[in-house]
Copies of this chain bind each other. A is one copy, B any other.
C-alpha cells in the first residue's frame, strides 16, 4: 500500500518527530509508514487524514490485487 505521507509532511515543513508528536506515536513508527514497512492501523489512518485534511483514500493508495 503506497502513501503520500512524506510529501504531505515535508510540504508542511515538519520533521518525522514533529509528525509523530502530533499523532501520539513514536518517530520510528512515522518512519516505518513513510518507508512502507507496514501500514497504519485504521485509527492511526484516521488521525493522519484529520491532521492533513484529506480523505484516507487520498493519502493511501490500495494496490488492487486481482
Contact = CB atoms under 8 A, between A and B. Distances in A.
Interface stretch (A4-12, A13-21, A49-57): A49-57
Chain A residues touching B, range: 10 to 19
Interface in A40-66: 40-43, 45-46, 49-50, 55-57, 60, 62
A39 interface: yes
Interface of A: 1, 39-43, 45-46, 49-50, 55-57, 60, 62
Given A1-B46, A45-B56, A49-B57, 18 more contacts: A1-B43, A39-B41, A41-B41, A41-B42, A42-B42, A42-B45, A42-B56, A42-B60, A43-B62, A45-B45, A46-B57, A46-B62, A50-B62, A55-B55, A55-B56, A55-B57, A56-B56, A56-B57
